[in-house]
Amino acid sequence: MEFPGQNISQDNHTTLEEFTLIGFSDIPNLQGLLFAVFLILYIIILMGNSLIIMITKVDPSLQTPMYFFIGNFSVLEICYVSVTLPRLLTDLCGQNRKISFLACAVQMYFFLILGATECFILTAMAYDRYVAICNPLLYPVIMNNRLCIQLAVACWTASIPVYTGFTAILFTSPFCGSNQLNHFFCDVPPVVQLVCGDTFILEMLTYVIAALVVTIPFFLILVSYVKIISTILKLPSASGRAKAFSTCSSHLMVVTLFFGSGIIVYMKPKSTHSTGMDKFFSLFYTILIPVFNPIIYCLRNKDVMVALGKFLQKWILL
């Protein structure tokens, strides 16, 4: 049997021309509601992160390494959700859920690169907090402008060669059977499921790369926070401990949410994969966490709230 959007070659492998994203088509009565919800969330993400980018650029009190990385993180979040959400919104408001082979590969490529960049930037932010709390006297010397820029460039570019190779290997693999992806975007697990024959090498590559870009950064963040908490607990005053904890709590919340959901999806064995749960966790780290980030960094940070108030007051007076 030949499925739409594919040609069968003589060696019984499928030459795919397109995929069909099943997404949330199994709940047709909720398509309109889901479209409205995801559109509102997308607008919140764009507006919230754009505000953070602007105030970290224009407010003199936020011209520090910590807010430099928060600004980078907000730029990243806008790019990250824009890889998947516009396509999801298009699928929810139309019947054509097909995505070309090339478009699927490009979407996965940028999704993986931006996801890895998020891991690296969160690690750089943990290092910044470690230096600020554990070596406060040397903080201005260590976290100088040059190092911050170097760390940011490394975070944005480090995963490009890795995922260029991985995406090329995956999408030059032979595909067979259905071309339907039971997901709302081109993620690694559902695409690997459509590959013909033994996928052991692809699965091992997935685990190894996930270990490099997810597990190792998470471990480094964990080590940083063990040292940070140890240092904070040694502070003599309760107010000093409270202030130190407050500067780390927002970042720690984001780390827990993002890495927790990512590790569950990419590091668990294939035999335990559940399509429904994978979709849920994917929604969590691709959409819900980017919604939470501006809220977490604004509402839990007095400096950002003050800067935001001044920024909004200035624009209202204009």
User: How large is the greatest C-alpha to C-alpha distance in the chain, in angstroms?
Assistant: 76
Residue 77 Cα distances to 84, 196, 289, 308, angstroms:
12, 34, 9, 19
- Say what the pLDDT of residue 27 is: 82
CA distance 55 to 64: 12
Residue 280 Cα distances to 6, 263, 284, 286, angstroms:
29, 14, 6, 10
Query: Given a cut of 50, is residue 45 above it in pLDDT?
Result: yes
CA distance 251 to 241: 16
| DSSP string across 274-311 | -HHHHHHHHHIIIIIHHHHHHHHHHHT-HHHHHHHHHH
Q: Between helices 289-299 and 65-92, what is the axis angle to 10°?
A: 150
- Complete domains list, the chain, with CATH: 6-317 (1.20.1070.10)
> What region does 19 belong to: left with phi over 0, alpha with psi -120 to 50, or beta?
beta
Query: Given a cut of 50, is residue 206 above it in pLDDT?
Result: yes
CA distance 284 to 211: 20
Q: For residue range 187-203, what is the model confidence (pLDDT) as tens digits?
A: 998 899 888 888 888 98
CA distance 255 to 285: 11
End-to-end CA distance of the chain: 66
Phi, psi of 64, rounded to the nearest 5 degrees: -125, 165
- Provide the residue type at 12 as one letter: N
Residue with tokens 């081109």: 186
- Say what the pLDDT of residue 252 is: 81
Residue with tokens 């500067």: 247
Phi, psi of 33, rounded to the nearest 5 degrees: -65, -45
CA distance 190 to 22: 11
**pLDDT band for position 2 (50/70/90)?**
very low
Q: For residue range 118-172, what is the model confidence (pLDDT) as tens digits?
A: 999 999 999 999 999 999 999 999 999 999 999 999 999 999 999 999 999 999 9
CA distance 215 to 139: 27
Query: Given a cut of 60, is residue 242 above it in pLDDT?
Result: yes
Tell me which of 234 and 40 has the higher pLDDT. Answer: 40
Number of H helices, E strands in the chain: 13, 5
Query: Given a cut of 90, is residue 89 above it in pLDDT?
Result: yes
CA distance 94 to 20: 13
Tell me which of 26 and 64 has the higher pLDDT. Answer: 64
State the sign of the Cα–Cα–Cα–Cα dihedral 288, 290, 294, 299.
Answer: positive
The enclosing H or E element of 79 equals: helix 65-92
Global pTM? 0.87
Query: Given a cut of 90, is residue 314 above it in pLDDT?
Result: no
**pLDDT band for position 3 (50/70/90)?**
very low
Q: Are 268 and 22 within 8 A, CB to CB?
A: no
